[in-house]
Structure 1
């Protein structure tokens, strides 16, 4: 190419070299800036996507926790019903209805259909059980569906008493496999268990998914460790029926209304859909993230599959990042033009490039990484404690624009009177110079907020007074939650005190009743006995044999009435007074009682077998009464046996004490009546007695923290097993 006439011939090669080097330099600057913008945009975009994904995962955890919390609340409702059985051996329908009405279930738990109780009935006792329920005032009570089963679980109570709930009364839950599996699991483990998806009786033919939560109830109050003992002491199950969809809706409330998920029951390896609010995505609207959580609650395995909105909705800042990318590209092109125009001075261009690169790196590291995108309030402080710069999160905590905070001291934001008042003791700075404290900070548009402060030393730019970085974490909700927990504890303590006071009043009323029985009923009995005796003595001659027989029967009935009153008062005294715990030799007590029985009827050949060395901790007087009733009972019912045998000992495997005889025995179908006051399985003429001996034994055993049960057959004798745990309970100390 010919040289331009405007350029001297001797400067052409130098100008061409400058042109080539300047172009390459400008292009390199443009390419480097463009790559830096693209890399920064990609990094920030990935960070935003990861932040959105982290928020999505946190939301799934919160939704899962809300579902678990609502199930725990349902268990607490069931445990409240079980507690009613601990205070009353079997509540009446009125007591159950009053308790459920006080719970206000419709307002507190909209998905819950009610609170019910299903009895545990052996297959051989179902007919007698239905008759007992009718005799107890439940009207016509019939267990359905009909059929012969080993055990039954008929619904006795279900409140509130709506027409739909009344249809479920009498339903045998053992007749349906899903319900039966949960019932058996609750019985075997002694813990609450949840069913798989079922159609609730209240819903009829409606296609509504329901669940039931069962809690076993034992006569001992707590679940025995032994499986056989659990079945022996089993009363039934308190259960909570509820629908799945309103359960999920009520559990979440207004929290995360945008959450889309499906709940599957995967117990046993087969997935059954319980709930879904996620529809099929439209074309081009695929979820940005999918996440799965697994729950293991009350014997069931749930899998929850979450779907996020599309990426544009899940990460709303991405469109703004695209605009930033365009601005970055424009800036790169502008930089290219500037570099092109300034390429003639290589040193100057390098200085400008280094300065821009260094400023950009520091700005990116400090503001984007540590300040702008942090969810925790952050501020840079100078050496005097004044705020140099604050991020938007801190502005949100104090209710001000972050720029308005510049120049204010951090101490001036604390509430008056708390400059030096630290709610949590401030530790000394650690090796890195970090300090922590908790303060109450002012909020311009609302009440003060509690924040946790973390101070850390940081360097500033050259010529800039920056000494510390402080992070402010808003812990107001946590502090309020702790306050609510403390308030709830105080409320529970007050309710316990109220129930204790009511129990004391009930005991006082019982004592007053016993006093009235002792004094008010004896006077008429004495009058009946006295006047009948005078009538027999003075006018017996004018009466015929029938009249004198009637007078004799009247006097005998009055005497028996007096004996029954004495027996009832004696039994009532067993529940009053403190127990005096000491080491008691049960073998010695049994031997002394056996000697007394032989002395009363020396002609009877009865063999006593007493295991030596049996001791326990308890009240000696009550334990003597216990053994006296059991051994005297065996003595009485072996009257027709020759040879008669009575044995007292302890089973090594179960630790139970026992009294066994080979006497008249009893029908096992009526074993529940043995320990009720004034309940007799034999006639007065055959075996005399008041009908309170075994009831007295049961109360003494229960006062020692134990349990008693009986086994027998007609004509084959009886076996009474009982435990004593007064030392473990610490009663009377």
Structure 2
């Protein structure tokens, strides 16, 4: 009888009775028979429809349970990985591969793209892991994306080792917002969690949509508190799941009549992201006669909604073919009325649904705005076109030390100390009409204290009949203003102190320079006297002095000459520290080749194999860097004098940051590692001066040159096995200011 609602039967009957008096009984009999047929068919159909719908509900519950059980089996796999970490502090790559191979993922879990482990690391732990892997011969462990973060969750293991899975090693899962949310929840709740829908890659051109399951791994068992769990977290066992394969694997043995789509609703309401949908011939159903059912699943921190649909007419026809004959007897007479009623009912339903959605949307929007006003920690007020307060929140009342009722109706500008500035108020409202406008104002508290506020105006529409023109936010920035003033004062004080210290340092450097030249002059005068008279004594009285005396005179002259050389070396090292620094891009390879050419010209009898890596570049002072390489390569040249197949290598090294790293390596005499700290001190020598001449100033000059460029220098060596000197220089010229 629902199908006849809205039809004026009395009107139809009145129109029929007048022209058709002779067919009244026939029409009544026809109507009665059609009514009986329809009642019989309706009751029979309803019984069968209820049975089919019950089967449909049972089928959907069974499918939901199969999906839940399938996910539970993945949890067991992940928990197994956690157990492996409980028995071994950190399994090796081989142990992890053995565990995953034993699972036989390809056959048992075809929808699982792999099983991996991601450690939970801070920056220092990441660097230590990278060093351990490099020392173990596993190469440099690169984390993607690059950048400095507080914590990392990079993929360390991921099996099986397919080409696609190897490319995942090093990806920082903790840097991705969707994965981060699931990983943090698993960490804090000590529970397995899955992510929101993700794009996991492509399979033969088909985008793979799925989710990732995370199981936390703790050190020393499961902590009881949240802070303890965060501190004890070692990492996560994770498994990415292809949703299409997941549904196919879970339901491979089930004969389905209902079409299925899976939506991820997260923790929100309404429509969510579609995780899975059957192909078009199953998912395209949409008539009102379909069975439809939504089964919610709360799974590992996510809410999945399983939408089922089935063609009720097809299912019913398969069970009761005899109903078709009964339906055919009455379908001709009732078709028009059924169609009209269906259209009217459907139109009314759609209209009511849209009206309800619009009303609910408006109510939610109004509630959100009211809550934002009421619970905001920043003062807020709605102003009309005159600048009067229409509504205010408690935070604004607290700022002005009054009540919200007292604020409503008052002029907003009157609460500030510059309230009489009418021009300012006009400019502010003119700026609001063009968009968001910010300004600062001052007001005095009841105790007379002057406070500072930052005002942010924004145009907002009011309801019909309301004169609402703008929303203003009032933030008390007094402490910020005072802190800025203190910072400026401190900055000026520091600048004055720096200027004073600079003047003192400059004066000390000038005095030191004068002292160095004065000492060198005063020392050289007696040295020349000693050397001169020793030479005259040896020339004029050689026949009166025996062989021992002549040897003594030779030693005196040699010592005087060495003293003169040491004075020259000290002056040269002093000039290295005092000379102005002019930075420019340098070709380190070219400078090294020039130094080698000078050494070959000075000692053409030496045959030394020198390898200079091409393309070495840095920034520095050309003269000082030439001096640096001259000392390092000259040392290598000198200490390979006694080596067979003497060889020197000048090359670069990988170095992060703003410094370029280089090394000079030789296979010469070398040195004991315990004396490496004495190499860069002035006059410190580790070899016999009779075997290797020198003043002990060269490496001290190298250290000063490198440090003036903001770099570091170090040395490694072993007796008889050669030495390696490493140093760094800037990559680029530092920006001014």
What TM-score, normalized to structure 2? Answer: 0.43
Structure (1 or 2) with the larger CA radius of gyration: 2
What TM-score, normalized to structure 1? Answer: 0.43
